[in-house]
Amino acid sequence: MSFPFTHEQLPAINSLARLVRLIAFAGTGKTTTLVGYAQARPQLRILYLCYNKSVEVEARKRFPPHVVCKTSHGLAYAAFGAKYKHKLATNIRLTDVARIISSQNWDLVRSVLDTLNAFLASADQEIDLCHVPVERLRTERMKRAAGNIVTSARLLWARMCDINDTEARIGHDGYLKAYALTRPDLTGRFDVVMADEAQDINPMLAGLLEDQASYGMGVVVCGDGHQMLYRFRGAVDALEADWLEQAETHYLTQSFRFGPAVATVANMLLHFKGETRPLVGLGEATRVGKRLPEDLEHRTILCRTVIGVIETALLAQAEGEKIYWVGGIDAYNLQDIEDVHSLHRNRRDLVKGKRLLQEYPDFDLYKEIAQESEDSEMQRTIRIVEQYSRTLPELFAKLRRSAVTDELEATLSVSTAHRCKGLEWDYVELAGDFQFEPFNPENTREQFEDEMNLLYVASTRAMKMLAINGPVLEVMQEFVDRRDGRKPDVPLVFKPDRKAA
């Protein structure tokens, strides 16, 4: 059987290895290669594991019928999570935890929730000190006191897992963890599992894949370590797992999404991460500049933060633009922000999420808890509410009216850099809310790598023109200065990571 694939894709497609590792740079045809791999094996039962529902929907359109496409949560829900349907929660709030562990010590409550989340992302069987936030383990006294955090987190987890305890709700990551703890054997249903975006899966899911390999199943892991974006959620780069040391490894470095100019920007970013394998841009000629032309029919602005997206959209709707929100406007929590704004104005009658009123009788308490718990989402909401105190409902109403669900109708698409992975547009602008100083000696290595990954992902979405921002310009200038001898090309020095410290 012949395939219209490149010389890099064909060896991976035709591989006879039981363990295959596919490292695919941005826009290099990773999914096309996986489809080819599946098409070459019509006799096998293949599971394609992807990272979100929208990818699953698109995958079903591309993969042949003998491939079952599922998210990890979808796999777990069908086999295990459905029994928790009556007590499922979109997320677990600090006030939920406070009520369950009977405490109003918000520092403790935050630590318990962080400990639980670390456990859910881990491959461990039970909650222990290793899951407690490192800042709570700096001294021996703190370590002894942390026993209370572990005990409370175990109580929280036990009540979540209790089907009859409806007060302690369980999140989607909760039933996924409970499913993984059973160490399921999928070999009765599948011959091969293909795991997409393996650079961003957590140790729990990585352990699930390792189990399948140990049961004798074929495993194909694919991704790009430079597109790892979710370390803050406990993700690890499973492409570097010890159990894959014997895997047959293939690289995809030829991108047909963009031309040499964008590839040059990407390679400058990757250079400072230590990458020596170049990304080759074989697409149409792509321009790089500081701003996009003003007469475009459509453009995309990629932001670092949700606030950046909302503020970009507010400016655009004032100009009468039709806006497409990647992931849907509801994914950007406008209603939650409006509810807090109503609380801020002491208009409890306007709050639609009644649970907010049960947890926070007034805005002062909401603000106090946000400060004491250092909850970033709450603090972000407060900033927007106070900045647009008088006009927020009217502005948000205009945002909803200017939003379109068909991107072909839009003059502007907006997204965070995290949401844009896997997508592409003709004209892309990187917003100014990437507040990152690439060569600040106060950066830890993890901070540096995470922010550089975001810039790399965002920059490689452009097919015709990329408008860069300050941090990318700084990286490009540093690269040129070192190359041309104006600065010594010395290794970067990083502040120790907290875990290392």
Res. 108: pLDDT tops 80: yes
Spacing of C-alpha 391 from chain mean position: 32
Question: Could you write out the DSSP letters of every residue in 206-228?
Answer: HHHHHHHHHTT-EEEEEE-GGG-
Q: What percent of the chain has pLDDT over 70?
A: 98
Grade residue 54 by pLDDT with cuts at 50, 70 and 90.
Answer: confident
Q: 446 or 498, which is more confident? A: 446
Q: 39 or 51, which is more confident? A: 39
pLDDT tens, position by position, 395-434: 999 999 989 999 999 999 999 999 998 899 999 999 999 9
Angle between helices 172-181 and 106-121 in degrees, nearest 10: 50
Res. 267: pLDDT tops 60: yes
Residue type, 213: A
Give the pLDDT score at 232: 78
Does residue 489 lie within any of the structural domains?
Answer: no
Res. 292: pLDDT tops 70: yes
pLDDT tens, position by position, 138-177: 888 888 889 999 999 999 999 999 999 999 999 999 999 9
Give the pLDDT score at 8: 96
Does residue 469 lie within any of the structural domains?
Answer: yes
Q: How far apart are CA 112 and CA 171, in angstroms?
A: 15
E-strand ranges in 80-197 read 88-89, 170-171, 192-195
Question: Are the beta carbons of 257 and 228 closer than 8 angstroms?
Answer: no
* 227's tokens: 């597109």
Res. 215: pLDDT tops 70: yes
Give the pLDDT score at 379: 82
Give the pLDDT score at 500: 45
Does residue 494 lie within any of the structural domains?
Answer: no
Write down the mean pLDDT value for the chain.
Answer: 92
Contacts of 267 (CB under 8 A, 6+ apart): 275, 278, 279
Beta pairing, strands 218-223 & 412-416: unpaired
Res. 94: pLDDT tops 90: no
Res. 1: pLDDT tops 50: no
Question: Are the beta carbons of 241 and 448 closer than 8 angstroms?
Answer: no
Same domain membership, residue 148 and residue 59: no
Does residue 439 lie within any of the structural domains?
Answer: yes
Same domain membership, residue 88 and residue 71: no
* 118's tokens: 């670390």
Beta-bridge partners for 20: 220, 248
Res. 377: pLDDT tops 80: no
Same domain membership, residue 276 and residue 363: yes
Give the pLDDT score at 499: 54
Same domain membership, residue 203 and residue 138: no
Grade residue 319 by pLDDT with cuts at 50, 70 and 90.
Answer: very high
Res. 249: pLDDT tops 90: yes
Same domain membership, residue 93 and residue 74: no
Q: What is the DSSP letter of 201?
A: B
Same domain membership, residue 247 and residue 286: no
Across the range 296-322, mean pLDDT stands at: 93
Same domain membership, residue 449 and residue 382: yes
Residue type, 484: D
Q: How far apart are CA 225 and CA 236, in angstroms?
A: 9
Residue 230, domain extent: 9-79+183-252
Which 3 state secondary structure label does DSSP give 410? coil
CA angle 460, 463, 469 (to 5 degrees): 50
Question: Are the beta carbons of 97 and 156 closer than 8 angstroms?
Answer: yes
Query: Among the three residues 179, 211, 235, which one is the final residue of a domain in this structure?
Result: 179
Res. 2: pLDDT tops 60: no
Closest to 456 (Cα-Cα) out of 438, 480, 481, 478:
438
Across the range 361-366, mean pLDDT stands at: 89
Grade residue 501 by pLDDT with cuts at 50, 70 and 90.
Answer: very low
Contacts of 319 (CB under 8 A, 6+ apart): none
Q: How far apart are CA 412 and CA 429, in angstroms?
A: 11
Same domain membership, residue 60 and residue 28: yes
Closest to 335 (Cα-Cα) out of 314, 318, 321, 356:
356
Give the pLDDT score at 188: 96
Beta pairing, strands 323-325 & 299-303: unpaired
Beta-bridge partners for 255: 281
Does residue 45 lie within any of the structural domains?
Answer: yes
The dihedral through the CA atoms of 83, 84, 86, 88 has a sign that is negative
Q: How far apart are CA 112 and CA 99, in angstroms?
A: 12
Across the range 248-277, mean pLDDT stands at: 97
Token pair 């989607």: residue: 172
Token pair 């999140």: residue: 171
Question: Are the beta carbons of 331 and 325 closer than 8 angstroms?
Answer: yes
Same domain membership, residue 296 and residue 210: no
pLDDT tens, position by position, 458-474: 999 999 999 999 999 99
CATH number of the domain within which 28 lies: 3.40.50.300
Query: Among the three residues 218, 252, 286, which one is the final residue of a domain in this structure?
Result: 252
Contacts of 365 (CB under 8 A, 6+ apart): none
Residue 409: C-alpha distances to residues 19, 298, 321, 405 (Å): 44, 9, 10, 8
Same domain membership, residue 213 and residue 71: yes
**What is the helix (H) or strand (E) element at residue 328, kind and residue range?**
none
Across the range 436-446, mean pLDDT stands at: 94
Phi, psi of 88 (to 5 degrees): -75, 145
Number of domains in the chain: 3
